[in-house]
Structure 1
Amino acid sequence: MSTIERLHEIGRPLVAEQLAHPTVAGIARGDLDERAFRYWLEQDHLYLLDYARAFSRLAWQAPDDHLADLVGIAHSTLNEELELHRSLSGEFGADLTTKEKGPACAAYTAWLLEAAADYRDGLAAVYPCMWGYNTLGLELAKSRPADPRYARWVDTYADPEFTRLTEHYGRRLEEAEPDPERAERFFLEGMRHEVAFWDTPYTS
């Protein structure tokens, strides 16, 4: 079993946990409290800024044949994924100028940026966000939410181009030949942060 196959195997239960989370279930139904999604948008905007920084830190350490991919993902995060947040912010009344990270966002970003100080550890640490959201998007796309705003969110992460990008990144992670045990540890910790990130101050 390859490293990526092993990460997917141990990550699937945590994807299932996310699918059962009230926030994700509300998105799937299309009836999530708008206050909850507004909070998520604001927090994820702050997270993605640091996610791009993590990729930039990895790019600085990357071998020549990985450099363009890592810079490209940082660019895509800032100019494509965040565009989704900007387009949805007005519809949900989100304040994307906020600098106030909630506990889950602060813990995740601090850990992620520290992990990115080591190339192989960092590659494993950033993978849960890409793979997890792509897997969630593909699952939620099987029955798109009735609310077109939530459907647009699902479509972004189920998009074939995002799937191709995730698969390509997985091959790059494999090529880096991380220590399997360390890769599993950093991947699992990232997946646990992903689960915690769905918590909001509102109940569904």
Structure 2
Amino acid sequence: MSLSERLHTAGRPLVEEQLAHPTVAGIASGDLDERVFASWLEQDYLYLLDYVRVFARLAWQAPPAHLASLVDLAHATLHEELELHRSLSAEFGADLGGAVKGPACAAYTSWLLESAADYGEGLAAVYPCMWGYSSLGAELAGAAPPDARYRRWIETYSDPDFAELTRHVARMLDEADVDPERAEELFLQGMRYEVDFWTVPG
């Protein structure tokens, strides 16, 4: 069993926990309170800005074979995923410019940036976000919420290209020089942060 396969097995219960979370369930059904989703968008926008910094920090340490991949991930997050957030935020009335990190966002991003000081450990810490959202997208792909804005969110994370990108990062992690026990510890901590992130500030 590869390291990434081991992590998938360990992390699956935390994917199920996310699927059962009221915010995720509300996206799937399309009846999530708009104010809750707007607050989530604000928090995720701030998270993604630091996510770009994490990829950049990992790229600085990356072996030559994976330098381009990490630079591309930083670029795609900055110019594609954040653009989706800006578009949805305008439709939901989210205030990206005035957003302030809540406790879950602040704790998660601080931990990620610290973990990225080491290349292998940083990959293990950053992987829960990609794998978690890819897993959620696969599970929610059959959902057809009546609100097209929620459908667009689901389509983004159920896209086959996103799934392939996640598999690529898994291969990078499998090739990294990181202790498997430490990798699992970081991965599970990241997955717990992912669960907590769905409970947005009031």
Same fold (TM over 0.5): yes
Q: CA deviation at 1:145?
A: 1.6
Instruction: Give 3-state SS (helix, strand or coil) of 2:142's partner.
Output: helix
- Partner SS for 1:143: coil
Q: What SS class does the counterpart of residue 162 from structure 1 fall into?
A: helix
Partner of 1:52: 52
Tell which deviates more after alignment, 175-184 or 18-27: 175-184
What SS does the corresponding residue of 1:75 show, helix, strand or coil?
helix
- Partners of 2:102 and 2:201 within 8 A in 1: no
Alpha-carbon distance in structure 2 between the residues aligned to 1:79 and 1:164: 19
| Matching residue's letter, 1:14 | L
Cα shift at 1:99: 4.5
* Contact 2:3–2:180 (8 Å) recurs in 1: yes
CA–CA distance in structure 1, aligned partners of residues 189 and 98 of structure 2 = 26
* 2:125 is aligned with 1:125: yes
Counting only pairs closer than 5 Å after superposition, residues 41-190 of structure 1 correspond to structure 2 as: 41-190=41-190
Q: CA deviation at 1:101?
A: 0.3
Q: Which runs of 5+ in 2 are unaligned?
A: none
Q: Which runs of 5+ in 1 are unaligned?
A: none
1:72 Cα offset (Å): 0.6
Report SS of the residue matched to 1:31: coil
Q: Which amino acid aligns with 1:145?
A: P
106-115 vs 168-177, which deviates more? 168-177
* CA shift for structure 1 position 98: 2.4
The TM-score normalised by the length of structure 2 is 0.98
Runs (4+) of structure 1 exceeding 4 A deviation are: none
Greater Cα shift, 169-178 or 31-40: 169-178
In 2, Cα distance between equivalents of 1:200 and 1:59: 30
> What value does the CA root-mean-square deviation take over the aligned residues?
0.9
1:109-161 CA-partner distances (Å, limit 9, x unpaired): 00000000011100000000000001101111122222110000000000011
Give the AA of the match of 1:11. G
- TM-score, normalised to structure 1's length? 0.97
Q: Partners in 2 of 1:166 and 1:72 — Cα distance?
A: 13
| CA distance in 1: counterparts of 2:57 and 2:124, whole angstroms | 14
Matched residue pairs, number?
Answer: 202
